[in-house]
Amino acid sequence: MVSDTDPVVNADPVVIVGAGLAGLSCARELTRRGCRILLLDAAAEVGGRVRTRKVDGFRIDAGFQVLQLAYPEAQQQLDYAALKLQKFQPGALIRTQGRFVEMADPWRRPQAAFSTLFNGIGTLADRLRLGRLRADVMRGTVDQLLQADDMPLGDFLRQHCHFSEDFICRFLQPWFAGVFLEPDLQTSSTFFRFLFRMFASGDVAVPALGMQEIPKQLAIGINPAEIRLSTVVERVSSDHVILAGGERISAAAVVLAVDGSAAAQLAGEDVCPATGRGTVCLQFAAETAPVRQPVLLLNGDGPEAGPVNNVCVMSNVAADYAPRDQALISVSTCGIPEQDAASLESAVRTQLQQWFGDTVGQWNLLAADRIRFALPLQPAGMLKNLAGFRLSANGVYCCGDSFSSGSIHGAMQSGRLAAEALALTLG
Ligand SMILES: Cc1cc2nc3c(=O)[nH]c(=O)nc-3n(C[C@H](O)[C@H](O)[C@H](O)COP(=O)(O)OP(=O)(O)OC[C@H]3O[C@@H](n4cnc5c(N)ncnc54)[C@H](O)[C@@H]3O)c2cc1C
């Protein structure tokens, strides 16, 4: 009998297209099982959407991204100590009606419980409802949580949890619109409940040297000779891939670990939705940080107040994100605003001048990344239909966050599950 840990002996490699978190997790798991692989990616570095580049000595992540330390898959696959994780202060500062108020998690930051209770957002009953929701999502296993009834998040918060409109609009909406990159709260309530549990049960952090340290760590488990970067794949089938330029590579099996829009194109059938949610992330250098705390700042006054959804002084969280005596400020929108780059920058500065004063005019723009496909669509009912990976009609294994959930956890889990299924088939 073949066990799922016996080495797999394959003459042709398993070709994995995409060296994001899903492709890396898949490659690592197959390597661990003794399987020959070849990991291809169009980009010059591993990481996919989780990338960090250096600009004038600042570490610029590709969009505002964080790691929830409670993610079960990250706990299983990553060496947290080696990442030298730098933690955020739990909760957020909300900019509303001309001032900042703190919304802290009283379980994880009890010293801020009193100010949170009387911060003027929502009612006392909302605090009790939040406590009930917290208890509810912490009950049972994560798998049980994912089986719960699903509905659009807005309906869940209003009709199921009965939060007040004020509490939703000034706190829950800006927070989760920023997480899901969609302002209308149409995302699956089940996915929300999973993430709420993650926020409630662990810290949020970034690696000291940038988010790309995560995929780089995953790549350590793969033979460098089995990774080919700057290699665009044009066509795939169950036993070969064709590269741009025409080269044909034979494969024992093929895994597509690309984002939803590339998967829809390469798989040759509707394996997943081709569209996703986007964001623009502007990163500024400043002589002085506008706030001292390593905390997320949220726009609690809605889109009428301007395009900014959230702000974070990244160098307050991880000092190595900026050169000494400088601050790195990350500013994100929810969705892609229609303005061109110059008008968007101007609107962002105008809005943030109201938050931090005229000093914003002296901030130096380091980067403005328009990320069209940041997250897959994640409507209600989605999780029940996703097995983590999919075998397409032409025999290609498809994985990635579009087949799991739009998160670091989802991408890594998806890659591992595809590898386990494939190893059993090959074995
Ligand atoms: C701005 C932003 C913020 C986010 N915030 C968070 C967060 O805070 N917490 C969280 O958990 N998740 C967050 N995410 C989501 C998380 O980053 C993704 O879910 C995850 O990285 C997806 O990994 P993946 O491997 O599925 O896909 P990808 O990272 O997209 O990897 C796909 C790879 O396929 C390659 N590829 C595509 N087409 C081809 C081709 N034809 N030939 C060769 N290679 C190809 C690409 O170059 C890419 O490297 C965020 C994402 C973004 C963009």
pTM of the model: 0.94
Within a domain: residue 95? no
Ligand 1 centroid, distance to 19 Cα (angstroms): 9
What is the residue-level pLDDT of the chain in tens, covering all 427 positions? 445 555 555 689 999 999 999 999 999 999 999 999 999 999 999 999 999 999 999 999 999 999 999 999 999 999 999 999 999 999 899 999 999 998 877 777 777 777 777 777 889 899 999 999 999 999 999 888 888 889 999 999 999 999 999 999 999 999 999 999 999 999 999 999 999 999 999 999 999 999 999 999 999 989 999 999 999 999 999 999 999 999 999 999 999 999 988 988 898 777 787 789 999 999 999 999 999 999 999 999 999 999 999 999 999 999 999 999 999 999 999 999 999 999 999 999 999 999 999 999 999 999 999 999 999 999 998 887 788 899 998 899 999 999 999 999 999 999 999 999 999 998 7
Residue 421 CB-density burial (10 A; 0-12 exposed, 13-18 middle, 19+ buried): middle
Within a domain: residue 6? no
The structural domain count of the chain equals 3
Same domain (yes/no): 267, 394: yes
Q: In which domain, by residue range, is 362 found?
A: 52-87+205-210+276-376
Within a domain: residue 120? yes
Same domain (yes/no): 323, 354: yes
Same domain (yes/no): 356, 281: yes
Ligand 1: residue whose CA is nearest its atom 32:
258
Can you say how many angstroms the Cα of residue 337 is from the centroid of all Cα atoms in its chain?
20
Would you say 411 and 259 are in contact if contact means Cβ atoms under 8 Å apart? Answer: no
Distance CA 125, CA 132 (A): 10
83 lines ligand 1 (CB under 6 A): no
CATH number of the structural domain spanning residue 306:
3.90.660.20
Same domain (yes/no): 359, 299: yes
Ligand 1: residue whose CA is nearest its atom 10:
407
257 lines ligand 1 (CB under 6 A): yes
Contacts of 65 (CB under 8 A, 6+ apart): 49, 50, 206, 211, 408
Same domain (yes/no): 263, 337: no
Same domain (yes/no): 417, 281: no
Same domain (yes/no): 271, 398: yes
Same domain (yes/no): 254, 394: yes
Same domain (yes/no): 335, 419: no
Ligand 1 centroid, distance to 42 Cα (angstroms): 13
Same domain (yes/no): 223, 176: no
